[in-house]
């Protein structure tokens, strides 16, 4: 039995370059990485860096760190700060759009594969991170073993969140960065369905985000309000899981079903996560979310045809 409470998992920082950009990576693995069940790359969303999203430490609640959860279960876990976020380069004159984030994923993936003997990646992205991950998988199918897309939007049709966000599109277009705050982070958990996350978790999440960033790039907001679609499901070859929170307002269910139907690989799943809004790993039902993702990553390969 896994002793989830007492086992402490140390992380190790790594750095790679994308031209003159420095990208921060964080790795957690228990034991010999070569013997891991798989190598996971987690891709964060628009309003926070990677470690607050995927390695959140909440006292007495160890599995709010998805990286700890999967490392304890034998996976080699990685996350990367996109350019403009966290510890990665922030001083270039750009707004870090989704296509640039896909390039960051590629740079991170190549670095990981150099260390891990070319092993293919189990790729997970959330919100705009799902779009970054989807575009990365579309552009580099040879690198991806399985792809999980959480809180995805495709065309933006009938999205209540994007309808509201688009009211500030001119503001997002006018500058490269937007401020973040504890009050804004709270709205991530109240805009769709208040009560779907514990307040102590929201507070820990805000503390972790604000320790790294007081502002974040505007590029993903511009793309999601004005430039969708940014990926083509017909070009995504990997086995794919689409994860939708019951109350997530970032996309309509029909938008995601239309995306799902066009995925060419028959090894695909669409799941609705009950009681979950937008930020699934920080929700009260996070254990359900982790189970769904773990089951997909551990699924045996088909033997026929």
Q: How far is residue 171's CA from residue 9's CA, in Å, rounded to a whole number? A: 42
Selection from 163, 103, 110 nearest residue 133 by Cα: 103
Would you write out the chain's pLDDT as a tens digit for each of its 305 residues?
344 444 669 999 999 999 999 999 999 999 999 999 999 999 999 999 999 999 999 999 999 999 999 999 999 999 999 999 999 999 999 999 999 999 999 999 999 999 999 999 999 999 999 999 999 999 999 999 999 999 999 999 999 999 999 999 999 999 999 999 999 999 999 999 999 999 999 999 999 999 999 999 999 999 999 999 999 999 999 999 999 999 999 999 999 999 999 999 999 999 999 999 999 999 999 999 999 999 999 999 899 98
pLDDT at residue number 2? 47
Contacts of 103 (CB under 8 A, 6+ apart): 18
Ramachandran quadrant class, 238 (left: phi over 0; alpha: psi -120 to 50; beta: rest): beta
Q: Tell me the domains of the chain and their CATH numbers.
A: 12-297 (3.40.50.1820)
- The secondary structure of 3-52, three-state, reads CCCCCCCCCEEEEEEECCEEEEEEEECCCCHHHCCCEEEEECCCCCCHHH
Kind and range of the H or E run holding 216: strand 215-217
pLDDT at residue number 305? 82
Q: How far is residue 290's CA from residue 159's CA, in Å, rounded to a whole number? A: 25
Q: Residue 229, preceding bond cis, omega within 30 degrees?
A: yes
Q: How far is residue 104's CA from residue 83's CA, in Å, rounded to a whole number? A: 7
The β-bridge relationship of strands 240-245 and 76-80 is unpaired
Residue whose structure tokens are 């982070």: 185
């Amino acid at each position: 039995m896994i002793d989830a409470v007492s086992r402490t998992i140390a992380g190790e920082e790594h750095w790679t370059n994308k031209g003159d950009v420095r990208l921060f990576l964080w790795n957690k693995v228990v034991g010999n990485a070569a013997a891991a069940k798989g190598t996971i790359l987690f891709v964060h969303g628009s309003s926070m860096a990677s470690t607050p999203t995927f390695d959140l430490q909440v006292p007495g609640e160890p599995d709010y760190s998805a990286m700890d959860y999967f490392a304890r279960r034998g996976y080699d876990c990685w996350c990367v700060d996109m350019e403009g976020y966290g510890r990665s380069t922030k001083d270039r004159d750009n707004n870090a759009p989704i296509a640039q984030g896909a390039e960051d994923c590629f740079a991170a993936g190549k670095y990981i594969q150099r260390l891990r003997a070319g092993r293919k990646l189990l790729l997970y992205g959330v919100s705009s991170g799902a779009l970054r991950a989807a575009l990365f998988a579309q552009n580099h199918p040879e690198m991806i073993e399985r792809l999980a897309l959480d809180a995805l939007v495709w065309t933006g049709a009938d999205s209540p969140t994007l309808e509201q966000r688009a009211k500030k599109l001119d503001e997002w277009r006018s500058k490269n960065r937007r401020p973040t705050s504890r009050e804004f982070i709270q709205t991530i958990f109240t805009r769709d369905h208040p009560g779907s996350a514990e307040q102590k978790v929201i507070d820990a999440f805000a503390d972790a985000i604000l320790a790294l960033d007081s502002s974040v790039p505007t590029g993903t907001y511009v793309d999601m309000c004005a430039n969708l679609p940014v990926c083509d499901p017909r070009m995504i070859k990997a086995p794919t899981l689409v994860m939708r929170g019951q109350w997530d307002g970032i996309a309509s269910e029909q938008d995601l079903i239309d995306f799902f139907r066009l995925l060419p690989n028959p090894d695909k799943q669409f799941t609705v996560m009950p009681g979950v809004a937008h930020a699934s790993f920080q929700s009260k039902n996070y254990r359900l979310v982790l189970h769904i993702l773990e089951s997909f990553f551990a699924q045996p390969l088909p033997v026929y045809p």
